[in-house]
A and B are shown apart, each in its own frame.
Chain A
Amino acid sequence: MFEKIKLFLQNHSGAVSLIARVVLGLIFVYASIEKITYPEPFAQNIIAYEILPQALANIAAIWLPWLEMFCGLLLIAGIWVRANAAILSILLTIFIIAIASALIRGLDISCGCFEVGDSEAMVGWRRVIEDAGMMILSLWLMKFPRSHWALEK
């Protein structure tokens, strides 16, 4: 069974990579929009994790959403897929560690994942699982960056 799935994925890696590209790209573009618009509440989200001081949180709040936007758009377009996937893998690793550490420390804070400020979306193990799922997609794209309908051949 496992071998069949593996063989299927390898035979259709172009199509699977296309789906992974578009799904990841859309998620990260969507996630970036509110953070770009409202950097200050997003900085508060970052501070609430009690990992970074305010000055670094402000820089992260300025930089991170644009990094997500760039990576998302380039992935959708199929440009520099491996490099984008590598960046997203690192980002997702950081997100997973930050959320898990907040949960372990018992912090009752908003995630800051898609909405900024005091949103309803609180940190939770579900977020960790979602990020892990996205991590699988980004790791796949690092191994199989070539796909259909990519601007970069």
Chain B
Amino acid sequence: MIKKSPIQAAVILFGSLIAGLAFNNFNPGGVSLLASGPSTSISASGNTLTPHEILSKTGRTLSLAETQVLFESKAAVFIDARPPSFYQAEHIKSAISVYYKTAGLNPALDKLKKNDPYVVYCKGPNCNQAQLLADTMHKAGFTKIFLFPGGMQEWRLAQYPMDRTP
């Protein structure tokens, strides 16, 4: 049995590599085998919502389409609540970084106008960093805070403009 183990281990290693490559090939969120730059494609034209309609809605949660409208019209400032290393690696284009854990101490918040609209996001539907940051901002007196629960996951899948900080 011991003599067979290296062969079995090799089969497992090779098999998992093949499975990973095959799945990645068909996975819409798959990664490039080589280093890749940020996506810059723009789409989602023909949306009927106007920025004013979106900003005046009673709910504070935005869909991908609504977020994209605000992005295109530059009607809101986008804030990335994730750790700085994730922001540097990839973020919604023109978004600023306010890490939710240190938001109370972040001088970037002091520079923002309290009555301007802000879209806060983090990784995706399963993260709560955007909500925590929104709570902090609300306590600090900000009045128009919108959550984009889809976060980077939806934005990336839609191939909307992203950027990275070198």
Query: Could you say which of A59, A66, A145 contacts B23, with CB atoms under 8 Å apart?
Result: A66
**In the bound complex, CA of A115 to CA of B124 (Å):** 11
Count residues of B near A (Cβ-Cβ below 8 Å). Answer: 42
Inter-subunit contact A41/B35 (CB<8 Å):
no
- Is A62 an interface position by the 8 A CB rule? yes
Inter-subunit contact B1/A145 (CB<8 Å):
yes
Query: Could you say which of B12, B23, B27, B89 contacts A80, with CB atoms under 8 Å apart?
Result: B12
CB-defined contacts of B13 to chain A, threshold 8 Å: 67, 87
Query: Could you say which of A39, A41, A80 contacts B30, with CB atoms under 8 Å apart?
Result: A39
Inter-subunit contact A70/B152 (CB<8 Å):
no
- Chain B nearest Cβ from A151, distance in angstroms: 14
- Is A17 an interface position by the 8 A CB rule? no
Inter-subunit contact B31/A70 (CB<8 Å):
no
CB-defined contacts of A74 to chain B, threshold 8 Å: 12
Inter-subunit contact A59/B153 (CB<8 Å):
no
- Chain B nearest Cβ from A118, distance in angstroms: 4
Q: Do A40 and B31 contact each other (CB < 8 Å), given the known contacts A62-B24, A66-B17?
A: yes
Inter-subunit contact A62/B31 (CB<8 Å):
yes
**In the bound complex, CA of A67 to CA of B18 (Å):** 10
Residues of chain B from 6 to 46 with CB closer than 8 A to chain A in the complex: 6, 8-9, 12-13, 15-17, 19-21, 23-24, 27, 29-36
Inter-subunit contact B35/A44 (CB<8 Å):
no
**In the bound complex, CA of A153 to CA of B82 (Å):** 49
- Is A119 an interface position by the 8 A CB rule? yes
Q: Do A53 and B89 contact each other (CB < 8 Å), given the known contacts A39-B27, A117-B124, A145-B1?
A: no
Of the A-B pairs whose beta carbons lie under 8 Å apart in the complex, a sample of 7, sorted by A's number, is A39-B30, A39-B31, A44-B90, A66-B17, A69-B16, A80-B8, A118-B83
Residues of A participating in the B interface, judged by any CB pair closer than 8 Å:
36-41, 43-44, 47-48, 53-55, 58-59, 61-63, 65-67, 69-71, 74, 80, 82-84, 86-87, 107-110, 115, 117-120, 145
Shortest Cβ-Cβ A-B pairs, 10 listed:
A118-B82, A83-B8, A117-B123, A66-B20, A67-B16, A66-B16, A83-B9, A54-B35, A80-B8, A62-B20
Residues of B participating in the A interface, judged by any CB pair closer than 8 Å:
1-2, 4-6, 8-9, 12-13, 15-17, 19-21, 23-24, 27, 29-36, 82-83, 85-86, 89-90, 122-124, 126-129, 152-153, 156
Known: A40-B29, A62-B21. 6 other contacts (CB 8 A): A48-B83, A55-B33, A58-B36, A62-B24, A80-B12, A120-B129
